[in-house]
Amino acid sequence: MFTQVCLGNRQTSNRPRWKAPLSAAVLLCATLTVHRAQAEGLSTNECIDAHANGQVARGQGRLLEAKNAFAICAAVGCPDLIRQDCTQFGVAVENTLPTVIVSAQTGAGREVSQTFVRVDGGPEKLPVDGRALYLDPGSHAFTVVTPEGKQASVTVVLREGEKYRRVAVTLPVEPQTKAGDPPVEAGKRGVSPLVYVFGGVGLLAAGSFTYFALDGRSKESALEDCAPTCSRSGVDSMRRSYLIGDISLGVAVASLGLGTYFLLSPSSSNTTASQVAVRVATNPDLSAFRVVATTAF
């Protein structure tokens, strides 16, 4: 190999051809190459060994080992011809090496951060941070570990030339909650106190509507017996009963509708109340009807 380098330099030179024997020229060139490699911190033997070991590892499918070997003999301190070979071999091996991107997630598909991965049961823990990992082709086991010690594994088969293979590992973890938050049972949510407020008002208003509607009907029947000589006050009392009944019906419909809205509203579980009070009041002569609902938050 060194003979080719030296002869190539000598034959392409514009100077007259050397008269020294070929063995002397080769010896001189090899000596200069050794001195150059030693000046760069590498010996020629190390470059040759890395060149040979890289080819053997590549032939046996140990592409990571081959990549590292070719990186050594592609260093500046190695002979030019070896460097050229190792650089080309290294590029070819890197193109063939599979790469994977490991991610950790919950069963619901939520990504879990601050996790680590061990490959094939090795002791080294690599951060799961979205960066690609170089691995040899073949079957590999990925074990993802959380800071709390929970872990899960998955095994995949990588093929030569497969790039950026997505490997998702599902962890048996629960959603994180803030300190002091009460535990929330799955499938349950709180009911807003406003549901009870408006529901109670609606029921009271419906009862009021029933009472005053019947009272108005009773007074109307009495007026039919005395018509057309009925007193003005009797007619006003009948109309007042019907009016209060109509108002009660409107309040019942509105209150029950609002109660249903807060019951079905997703944000109803975020509304809390410490005290709810409902009060119904009427004037002694039934000239006024009031429903008062107060809520303390």
258 lies in a domain? yes
Out of 80-84, 181-185, 213-217, least confident range: 181-185
User: Is residue 90 a part of any domain in this protein?
Assistant: yes
pLDDT at residue 249 in the model: 84
Last residue of a domain, one of 95, 123, 153: 95
Q: Are residues 262 and 239 in the same domain?
A: yes
pLDDT above 50: residue 3 = no
Least Cα distance to 281 among 295, 291, 293, 273 occurs for 291
Residue at 187 is within a domain: no
Task: Look over the chain and give the mean of its residue pLDDT values, rounded to a whole number.
Answer: 75
- Tell me: the pLDDT tens digits for 241-276? 888 888 888 888 888 888 788 788 765 444 444 455
Comparing 286 with 153, the larger pLDDT belongs to 153
One domain for residues 63 and 107: no
* Judgement on whether residues 113 and 208 belong to the same structural domain of the protein: no
114-118, 165-169, 253-257, 293-297 — which is least confidently predicted?
293-297
Burial (CB count <10 Å: 0-12, 13-18, 19+), residue 35 = exposed
Give the angle 120-161-91 at the CA atoms, nearest 5°: 105
* 288 and 208 in a common domain: yes
Among residues 95, 126, 157, which one ends one of the domains?
A: 95
Percentage of the residues of the chain whose pLDDT score is greater than 70: 69
Count of domains for the chain: 3
- Which structural domain range is residue 256 located in? 193-296
**283 vs 170, more confident:** 170
| Angstrom distance (rounded) from CA 25 to CA 18 | 8
The domain boundary, picked from 95, 121, 150, lies at 95
Give percent of the chain with pLDDT exceeding 90.
Answer: 34
DSSP-derived secondary structure letter, 270 = G
Q: Is residue 209 part of a domain?
A: yes
- Could you tell me how far CA 23 lies from the centroid of its own chain? 68
| Number of Cβ within a 10 Å radius of residue 170 | 15
Please state the separation of Cα 161 from the chain's center in Å: 28
Using the predicted structure, report yes or no on whether residue 24 has a pLDDT greater than 60.
Answer: no
Cα angle at 148 between 142 and 151, to 5 degrees?
25
User: Residue range 192-211: average pLDDT?
Assistant: 82
- Tell whether 285 and 206 lie within a shared domain: yes
Structure tokens at 278: 């409902």
Flag whether pLDDT at 17 surpasses 50.
no
Asked if residue 197 and residue 278 are part of one domain, the reply reads: yes
CA distances from 120 to 36, 138, 139, 152, 169 (A): 41, 11, 9, 13, 14
CATH code for the domain of 103:
2.60.40.1120
Span of 10-19, 139-148, 213-222 with lowest mean pLDDT:
10-19
Calculate mean pLDDT across residues 150-170.
Answer: 92
Kindly report whether the peptide bond that precedes residue 228 is cis, defined as omega within 30 degrees of 0: yes
Quick one: average pLDDT of 220-229?
77
Q: Is residue 179 part of a domain?
A: no
How far apart (Å, rounded) are the C-alpha atoms in residues 40 and 182?
66
Residues 128 and 82 in one domain: no
Instruction: Report if residue 261 sits inside a domain.
Output: yes
Is the pLDDT at 139 greater than 80? The verdict is yes
Block residue for tokens 């050594």? 72
Asked if residue 145 belongs to a domain, the reply is yes
pLDDT at 293 (0 to 100): 56
Convert the pLDDT of each residue in 28-43 to its tens digit.
Answer: 333 344 434 443 568 8
Q: Is position 186 within any domain?
A: no
Q: What DSSP string runs through 213-250?
A: HHHHHHHHHHHHHHTTS--HHHHHHHHHHHHHHHHHHH
**Is residue 30 located within the same domain as residue 48?**
yes
Are 233 and 269 members of one domain? yes
- For the chain, what is the radius of gyration of the CA atoms? 45
Same domain (yes/no): 75, 105: no
Alpha carbon separation from 46 to 1, 5, 37, 69 (Å, rounded): 15, 18, 9, 10
In the block, residue with structure tokens 């997505």: 166
- Whether residue 85 is found in the same domain as residue 130: no
Dump pLDDT digits (tens) for 88-135. 999 999 999 999 999 999 888 888 888 999 999 888 889 999 999 999
pLDDT at residue number 273: 47
pLDDT higher than threshold 90 for residue 21: no
Let me know whether 226 and 292 are in one domain: yes
Pairwise CA distance, residues 273 & 120, whole Å: 55
